[in-house]
Amino acid sequence: MTDLLRLSKLFVASQYEEDGTLIIETKSKNPRSPKRCCLLHSLDKNGTKRQRFRDHPVQGQPTMLEVVRQRFKCSFCGATHYEELPDVDGDRRITVRFRTYLEDQAIRLPFTQVAALNGVHETLIRRLFEERAARDLADYKPSLPRVLGMDEIYLHKRARFVIGDVANKTMLDMQPGRRDVDLRAYFEPLSGRDRVEVVCQDMWKGYHTLTKAMFPNAVTVIDKYHVQRTANYGMEVVRKALYHNLSNKDRIALKRQRAVFLARWETCKPETRTRLDRLFGLYPALATAYDLKERFYDIYEAESRAAAEEATTRWLASVPSEFERPFKTSIDAINNWRPHILRYFEHRYTSGYVERLNGLIRAMNRSGTGYSFEVLRAKALLKHGRIIGPADRLYSLRIGEEGAAEAPEIPSLWLLGIELSTLEADLEAGTF
């Protein structure tokens, strides 16, 4: 019968069923008296009390431990104390192993599902998960990659900071916001900051300031897609400006054509070209705007930085004065970020995984799991992060020793990043 229980400190006295629940009556092998109550006075045995604790199911059957718990009385002040039970969580009235079992499930499954499976309240699952996450991730520090991506996703109406390993297309961590003071505090203690060579970012000034302060040897590369997108915006402004002089019917017709203007001429279908040609005939301003947009994209076709420099200069010079306002975002992008945009031609990295992030946001908003940002982060890391434990760490150390003048500083947890596609699929399936 002790086999059934597999607890170190308790033995089974008897077992019986009560309303479909297996009740296992247990006693301590050696009741452990609590620490002293009053100095120099003893704690005397003073009867027992039966207490029940939820345990994990035994062969699928709901199970409770009924512990015959030793009571003690202080011989000086008369206070009552109970024997210490290392196998149970007294506050929650569950066994420690049931708690661990619930924590493990909470990492793998939605909290609502764990609660339903085990007949406990969801609040308990959430609390247990939060405690476990606080324990497991207390020392978690992402190991910084050679090419670091800085991005944001909008979750619960706030911009959340996301860092990734651009070369390996994985997410390394998320932070609740992107205030400079918080992000400095976050990056400051990370080792290997001097080994970051490239930081890939959108055109948010804060990231660049942060890079200069935190990554002394890194260059900033503005993500290609963020730059190109500004030309779509210019195209939109020109199209919408036409609305003022159009009849209702024509305006609605033009609104419906929104997507065709975003198509690239080189790769779009023949029927799209026909539609575009017809619209260009009707509205010559659209032809000019489309041409500006296409040639702005073409800057990225350049084969060298020098060629890209030239194409950029040519593009700027080619913008007719009446199109400077609609294409202001593109013009400003170049004027404000030119060296960092063109550095792409020396370090051809883009935040490719950003597309995944967008899918992720949709999935997170749809999943309606009601997780807080902190829970989402912890769950993503604990469930999908490949965290290397101490044994593996030793192995990595040995590998690192070969030829390495200085052994790298080993954080207590190593996380190799989360495949965003995995996380997204999990959210989409409603199993997160």
If one asks whether residue 43 binds Zn ion (CB under 5 A), the answer comes out as no
Q: How many residues bind Zn ion (CB under 5 A)?
A: 6
**Which of residues 40 and 77 has its CB atom nearest to Zn ion in the complex?**
77
If one asks whether residue 34 binds Zn ion (CB under 5 A), the answer comes out as no
- Can you tell me which of 40, 77, 138, 181 binds Zn ion, judged by CB under 5 A? 77
Stretch that binds Zn ion, among 79-87, 121-129, 190-198, 273-281 (CB under 5 A): 79-87
Stretch that binds Zn ion, among 6-14, 30-38, 117-125, 418-426 (CB under 5 A): 30-38
**Which of residues 79 and 185 has its CB atom nearest to Zn ion in the complex?**
79
- Can you tell me which of 1, 38, 253, 307 binds Zn ion, judged by CB under 5 A? 38
If one asks whether residue 253 binds Zn ion (CB under 5 A), the answer comes out as no
Q: Which of residues 161-220 bind Zn ion (CB under 5 A)?
A: none
- Can you tell me which of 7, 22, 24, 37 binds Zn ion, judged by CB under 5 A? 37
**Which of residues 79 and 407 has its CB atom nearest to Zn ion in the complex?**
79
**Which of residues 36 and 366 has its CB atom nearest to Zn ion in the complex?**
36
- Can you tell me which of 7, 22, 65, 74 binds Zn ion, judged by CB under 5 A? 74
If one asks whether residue 418 binds Zn ion (CB under 5 A), the answer comes out as no
**Which of residues 42 and 431 has its CB atom nearest to Zn ion in the complex?**
42
Q: Tell me, letter by letter, the H, E, C secondary structure of the chain.
A: CHHHHCCCCEEEEEEEEECCEEEEEEEECCCECCCCCCCCCCEEEEEEEEEEEEEEEECCEEEEEEEEEEEEEECCCCCEEECECCCEECCCCEEHHHHHHHHHHHHHCCHHHHHHHHCCCHHHHHHHHHHHHHHHHCCECCCCCCEEEEEEEEECCEEEEEEEECCCCEEEEEECCCCHHHHHHHHCCCCCHHHCCEEEECCCHHHHHHHHHHCCCCEEEECHHHHHHHHHHHHHHHHHHHHHHCCHHHHHHHHHCHHHHHCCCCCCCHHHHHHHHHHHHHCHHHHHHHHHHHHHHHHHHCCCHHHHHHHHHHHHHHCCHHHCCCCHHHHHHHHHHHHHHHHHHCCCCCCCCHHHHHHHHHHHHHHCCCCCHHHHHHHHHHHHCCEECHHHHHHHHHHHHCCCCCCCCCCCEEECCEEHHHHHHHHHCCCC
**Which of residues 38 and 306 has its CB atom nearest to Zn ion in the complex?**
38
Which residues contact Zn ion (rule: CB under 5 A)?
A: 37-38, 74, 76-77, 79
